[in-house]
Amino acid sequence: MQELKNQLIKLLSENARYTYDQLAAMVGADAATVETAVKELEKDGVIVKYSAILNAEALAEKKVNALIEVKVAPQKLKGFDSCAEEIYHFKEVQSLYLMSGGFDLAVFVEGKDITDIAKFVSEKLSVIDGIISVQTHFILKRYKIEGQVTKPDEDNRRQLIQA
């Protein structure tokens, strides 16, 4: 059963829109077994969410995204978790990671404009107890999202010029 689940994880991470029948045909099992395995993966928290990967540049409604590096003073008996829990409840926060290296938390946020993100940083993020510093980096262009290139390679190729 674990091998089946591993195959399903790989297939669903490539395309979450596969039907149980399609998945069953690809893994050589019946659809009912596949459905049971997928539901177990969801129940066990392996599959957290299904979502579409969007190219923000192609959307009609434009948004601004930023990566905010956060340095935190770990709290006694709680480490970074209590600060992270406070941060991930904000609607602006899309993703949050504990990092190694020069900063502790990587916070990916989305706002309607730069002012929206600046307001989030100054009024919500920087006032949290334990935050030592923040550094905001605005995302200017996405070339690849979750393993998917946003534009076909042929649009970006340079022509070979011979002298």
Which strands sit side by side in the sheet containing 93-98, from one edge to the other? 93-98, 105-111, 64-72, 131-138
pLDDT value at residue 157: 56
Confidence of residue 163 (pLDDT cuts 50, 70, 90): low
3-state secondary structure 73-122: CCECCCECHHHHHHHHCCCCEEEEEECCCCCCEEEEEEECCHHHHHHHHH
- Which class is 2-43 in CATH? mainly alpha
Question: For the stretch 123-135, what's the b/e string if a residue is b when 16 or more beta carbons lie within 10 angstroms of its beta carbon?
Answer: ebbeeeebbeebe
- Domain boundaries in the chain? 2-43, 56-143
Has residue 95 got a pLDDT over 60?
yes
pLDDT at 134: 97
pLDDT (0 to 100) of residue 70: 97
* pLDDT (0 to 100) of residue 109: 98
pLDDT given at position 42: 94
Mapped onto helix, strand or coil, the DSSP state of residue 95 is: strand
Q: Determine the Cα–Cα distance for residues 81 and 111; give it in Å rounded to an integer.
A: 24
Q: Is-contact 76 130, C-beta < 8 A? A: no
Helix axes 31-43, 20-27, angle to 10 degrees: 110
Extract the tokens encoding 32.
């009912």
- Specify the amino acid at residue 32: A
Between 3.30.70.920, 3.40.50.300, 3.40.50.970, 3.20.20.80, what CATH number should domain 56-143 receive? 3.30.70.920
Nearest to 152 by CA among 160, 163, 143: 143
Q: Per-residue pLDDT averaged across 1-21, rounded?
A: 91
Same fold, 2-43 and 56-143: no
For 119-144, write each residue's pLDDT tens digit: 999 999 999 999 999 999 999 988 88
CA distance 34 to 30: 6
Work out the average pLDDT over 80-108.
Answer: 96
Q: Is residue 39 a contact partner of residue 4, using CB atoms and an 8 Å limit? A: no
Does residue 155 carry a pLDDT above 80? no
Over residues 60-87, the mean pLDDT reads: 91
